[in-house]
Chain A
């Protein structure tokens, strides 16, 4: 299979309404050639509708969809030439593995012997060489997943769509397949659009993530940027855990009550903001001891703590009553945490002092 055989995708103003509800609300989206892009969002956010528009199963009300330079929006699914892995795999139960994988080749009039070679090659690619004669009901969930993948890529589509392909697998296998899928993508280089509601999966696999909510793309960026610089409260809440503390910006300074917080970046125009506190970015400092320079410090009281093996989750009430969570890594067996009720000091570096638009404010 040839590299550089991928196509860019460009969507303009794609809209789909069901009754009064927007499943897709004037979506503009550019996917680069060869990119692994993930559509991430809760159920009902429109991410699956977006994927089915790409595949041609959902006909939008209006908009433009281009693969490369070719307009696709009105083209029926069987003429789009995109590969797709379905959530439930949709492997044909009346065909064996080889016939499933070779289905697309059969439709394209590929000769029997060439087809057999390409099917075997595709099965090798997903490490199922020699499984061709098996029936679908003789396969495990992970094997079915691989067959579905082989079936979708055997005709060398330049665009690959995946609809939560790993959601039916157990956790161990899922994490293993994430790496494997990503490696396969890097090897074949086709443009891949991947739908998931699993934020960790999205962070692990993607070049870029589009966070979808209410039929709109809330933010489109690299996993790191999405996690570290979310543009909206929704994105921050959906990816990772966080607590939000209302703050104000006045004359270029971040004010929390009467205090001024240090921020690495200029906070912008005056007005209300939300301070995003990620549990793992907060540092637990010993109370009553000299504190390191340069951190924003918050005094508080430990409420509870939850042991989670590799880390402990601490619930702390700040002086003004706000409850925040803090994740403390556990490095050794002798780890000792303060007792509930103890006074604690939390530190936050200026780089991690991130402000989001306040509720109701124009983003």
Chain B
């Protein structure tokens, strides 16, 4: 026994097992490699290119003139303020509409809930442009809603429902709502209803059980839905452009303007970079805020 062990300093099959582990790691790396390359080519490279363009002056020299202009002209400040205002308001309205809706869906039997989810998802499968112009038809001065409202005697003058903030918000909320409901709904579905029974058993009225147990447990879903909506809104172009009618100017419209009207890639890139940096900064801040509130995502898995 001892003689045998002395002849073989390596423990039994240790090398073969190490090799097998290495092979597995390489295999996994090979599997993710296409995705990594794709991300590098389609995400990382354009962002770096954007950054590079934003640092070139109109004459092709290295310069900070685009950033300087943004800093000095108040119209840029207004654009960013509008962008964040529209995004925040859209997110807020989506949360107010989406939370009760997702809650009702999560309480339904599975089959009925699936049917309703299809109804919620349906808008996502139709063209964004079609939906946006449909809203234009509904909301304009001589549109369907004003027509009905006046003929029913609810109001006398056509309401300004479009080409302003109201119209923009109606459109963005409509487009963004599914993105909030999806994560929120699946989070709510995963909440074991025994928690609510336990709360009731311990003396909580339905309202208090909701407030103390269900709401905190659904918060991770609400937060991730809200983050998706907010970030998508920041870069939203078509709907605010059409329904805002040039009165609600968001960063994306301005970028399109810079390129289509002025052919100024540098200015457009600078806007894109600032928007990206602000978005990332807000995400980090939100993450910090959530992190400080403890393990809200601590779902019990069984």
> Chain A residues in contact with chain B, CB under 8 A?
55-57, 76-84, 86, 88, 90-94, 103-104, 107-108, 135-137, 151-152, 155
Asked if A88 and B202 sit within 8 Å, CB to CB, the answer is: no
Assuming the contacts A107-B208, A136-B300, A137-B300, asked whether A92 and B201 have C-beta atoms less than 8 A apart, the reply is no
Asked if A88 and B298 sit within 8 Å, CB to CB, the answer is: no
Asked if A103 and B199 sit within 8 Å, CB to CB, the answer is: yes
CB distance from B62 to the nearest CB of A (A): 52
Assuming the contacts A91-B300, A94-B296, A135-B295, asked whether A107 and B213 have C-beta atoms less than 8 A apart, the reply is no
- Mask, B284-302, CB within 8 Å of A = 1, is 0000000000111011101
Report how far A90 CA is from B205 CA in the complex, Å.
17
Report how far A155 CA is from B202 CA in the complex, Å.
8
Asked if B213 and A78 sit within 8 Å, CB to CB, the answer is: no
Asked if A93 and B198 sit within 8 Å, CB to CB, the answer is: no
B195 interfacial contact with A, CB 8 Å: yes
* Residue numbers in B under 8 Å from A76 (CB-CB): 200
* Residue numbers in A under 8 Å from B199 (CB-CB): 78, 92, 103
* Residue numbers in A under 8 Å from B300 (CB-CB): 91, 93, 136-137
Report how far A137 CA is from B75 CA in the complex, Å.
52
- Mask, B197-219, CB within 8 Å of A = 1, is 11111111110110011001100
Asked if A94 and B204 sit within 8 Å, CB to CB, the answer is: no
* Residue numbers in B under 8 Å from A57 (CB-CB): 197, 200
CB distance from B217 to the nearest CB of A (A): 6
Report how far A151 CA is from B204 CA in the complex, Å.
14
* Residue numbers in B under 8 Å from A77 (CB-CB): 197, 200-201
Top 6 A-B pairs ranked by shortest CB distance? A90-B198, A90-B194, A104-B202, A93-B300, A77-B200, A107-B203
Report how far A180 CA is from B204 CA in the complex, Å.
29
Assuming the contacts A57-B197, A77-B197, A107-B208, asked whether A94 and B295 have C-beta atoms less than 8 A apart, the reply is yes
* Residue numbers in A under 8 Å from B217 (CB-CB): 92-94
Q: With A78-B204, A93-B195, A151-B202 given, can you name 4 additional A-B contacts, CB distance below 8 Å?
A: A55-B201, A90-B192, A136-B300, A137-B300
* Residue numbers in B under 8 Å from A84 (CB-CB): 198, 201
Report how far A55 CA is from B202 CA in the complex, Å.
10
Assuming the contacts A90-B197, A92-B195, A137-B300, asked whether A107 and B202 have C-beta atoms less than 8 A apart, the reply is yes
Report how far A92 CA is from B302 CA in the complex, Å.
13
